[in-house]
Structure 1
Amino acid sequence: MIDANENSELLRQCQAITADEPDLIANLANISALIFDGLDDINWAGFYLVRGQDELVLGPFQGKVACVRIPFGKGVCGVAAQQQQLQHVDDVHQFSGHIACDAASNSEVVAPIVINNKVVAVLDIDSPSVGRFSVKDADVIAEIAQHCTQLDWSQLG
């Protein structure tokens, strides 16, 4: 796990790399890379983007090949999107309806990105270690997702 200062630095870096870049996909790709490189003991970091009324579709990410489509309410990502609430799961195998996109993943944090009371995406971070994410880790992931609300989501139209 990382300490609070490293968490703050990760958020500052996300803010810095997106500050002067208007392209949404470029920003999401760089944020994924920054998280993947900046957090220890993770095996996937990326975004699922909302398509239609109730489906998430794979967006920019770092890690192994992933599930392409996830319905709202299915798996940790789908539940985060449907409930518009952070999901902090210490052991995904104990999560009802878990979708095993990567059998090596054992813990997960998913933060919804909500604009005007509507989910536009989720930020998903996976680890091969059970209980990998502290409350502080989950908080910074939520803060990064909150920062993402300031990006130009109209480009997905």
Structure 2
Amino acid sequence: MSAGFAAKRLGKELQKISTSLPPGIELVTAENFEEWLLDIKVLDSNPLYENETYRLKFRFGSTYPIEPPEVVFIQLPDRPIPIHPHVYSNGIICLDLLGQQGWSPVQNVESICMSLQSMLTGNSKNERPPGDEDFVRANRQRPKDIQFYYHDNDV
């Protein structure tokens, strides 16, 4: 797989999302095919995330879309990292869709944003993942290299 293939795919995605995105998703910057920033809002009524906007950073490798992009929440003065049982305080997201096992090349930036909106919408726990402080302090891996254990791995 060449970097050209990734750039071609990202070019098509950028063209589409520049003209139309679902409600609550906004493209902030996409100056190259390596890193994009998008903002998402939870549209359904969930008091945990009401009136909040969250910033996502997407990093694409040369093997995209065969391999998932690296996606994290980033903190800005007006953009907090959401408190959620699958979102670490450093912005790393534990979601099988973003890992090698759950990823499919049919996914794209828009579908990832919609999945994260849905994940936040369905949350009722105002808490971080177990072991958040230790994980954030000790982790030296890039998000896409972390092997999360998902509860449905036992099935």
The interval holding the TM-score normalised by the smaller chain is under 0.3
Higher-RCO chain (CA-CA 8 Å, sequence separation at least 6): 1
Could you say which structure has the higher strand fraction? 1
TM-score with structure 2 setting the length? 0.28
Could you say which structure has the higher helix fraction? 1
TM-score with structure 1 setting the length? 0.28
